Amino acid sequence: MRDLGRIVRLQIQRSSLKIGEKPMRVYDPAPLLAVERLALGPDGALGEGPGGSWLVDVHHRAHPRTKNDDGVHGLSLGFTSHYALMRDRFGERITLGCAGENIIVETERRIAFEDLERGVALLTGDGQEIARLEVLQVAEPCRPFSGWALGGVVEAQVLKETLQFLEGGTRGYYCTGVGSGIVSVGDKVAALDG
């Protein structure tokens, strides 16, 4: 295993971050809720809420309005280095977690799909394995997030350039849980070698 970094943010989406009907949908990060612990499994994530209650992420297959009917978008993984790139380009509106990933890992370098294609292990601080994630695909950039990052409606060429900039995992990666476990802020993430 190759260490990628420690988890600095865990969160759930209580509802969709894209509002309205195509092609006029807009992005709103307000439904994001930072949590200290996530319960992960093959169906998605639950976030530990106030008083120890478990709240269902909108990508969990048990959510009444799930955005994960196909089982491919149950969890998502992002990196602080990718947020630094987005902040450099779009400014201070880009705050850690605004793109909606469930797990954000602190790292100094850009993480490519090839770094994750064999999956990742989630580990306690002392190296005990909690769970694994199968990294299924890049979270492709969308028009609503791109417009929001730019501060509103923009001309077609600027939107195209923005979508191209956000490709290649900048917006994170979609994963599915292999097994189940509870991860906490401060736990570690390692890429599997094979």
Instruction: Supply the CATH number for residue 9's domain.
Output: 2.40.33.20
- Number of independent structural domains in the chain: 1
154, pLDDT greater than 80: no
With CA atoms as reference, report the closest residue to 57 among 150, 176, 188: 176
pLDDT digits (tens, 9 = 90+) for 105-149: 999 999 999 999 999 999 999 999 999 999 989 998 888 999 999
Residue 159 confidence (pLDDT)? 86
Two structure tokens written together for 20: 């309205």
DSSP 8-state secondary structure symbol assigned to residue 114: H
Provide the domain limits for residue 14. 2-191
Identify residue 46 by its one-letter amino acid code: L
96, pLDDT greater than 70: yes
Residue 141 confidence (pLDDT)? 87
* C-alpha span between 48 and 56 (Å, rounded): 9
Mean pLDDT for 27-48 is: 95
Q: Taking each helix axis as running N to C, give the angle between helix 80-90 and helix 143-150, from 0 to 180 degrees, rounded to the nearest 10.
A: 60
Percent of the chain exceeding pLDDT 70 equals: 99
Beta strands in the chain (DSSP E): 2-13, 18-19, 26-27, 32-35, 37-41, 44-48, 54-56, 75-79, 103-105, 120-123, 129-138, 173-178, 181-184, 188-191
73, pLDDT greater than 90: no
Instruction: Give pTM, 2 decimals.
Output: 0.94
DSSP 8-state secondary structure symbol assigned to residue 96: T
